[in-house]
């Protein structure tokens, strides 16, 4: 499961509602939630955040929390 999937599950988010409010298909939401190789686009993240009433920056921090800069 992806960090987005874990976040949505932890928050008990109704994915059908997210799909309706964002226009992102349920199949795409399922891919974004379960498949690590599926890339989440910025516009999708923004719409999902709006649909679940969270700050887009907070959602971005959560789904990208494993990213680190390389040391020189």
pLDDT digits (tens, 9 = 90+) for 15-54: 999 999 999 999 999 999 999 999 999 999 999 999 999 9
Residue 68 counted as domain residue: no
**DSSP states of the chain:** --HHHHHHHHTT--HHHHHHHH---HHHHHHHHH-TTSPPPHHHHHHHHHHTT--HHHHHHHHTTT--PPP-
Residue 70 counted as domain residue: no
Identify the CATH number of the domain in which residue 28 sits: 1.10.260.40
9: containing domain: 3-63
The pTM of the full predicted model, rounded to 2 decimals, is: 0.92
Residue 35 counted as domain residue: yes
Residue 26 counted as domain residue: yes
Residue 72 counted as domain residue: no
Model confidence at 59: pLDDT above 70: yes
Residue 50 counted as domain residue: yes
Q: Which of 67, 64, 53 is nearest to 4 (CA)?
A: 64
Residue 60 has a pLDDT of 97
Number of domains present in the structure of the chain: 1
72: confidence class by pLDDT, cuts 50, 70, 90: low
């Amino acid at each position: 499961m992806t960090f987005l999937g874990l976040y949505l599950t932890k928050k008990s988010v109704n994915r059908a509602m997210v799909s309706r409010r964002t226009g992102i298909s349920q199949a795409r939401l399922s891919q974004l939630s379960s498949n690590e190789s599926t890339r989440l686009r910025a516009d999708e993240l923004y719409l999902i955040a709006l649909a679940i009433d969270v700050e887009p920056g907070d959602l971005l921090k959560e789904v990208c929390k494993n990213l680190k800069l390389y040391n020189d």
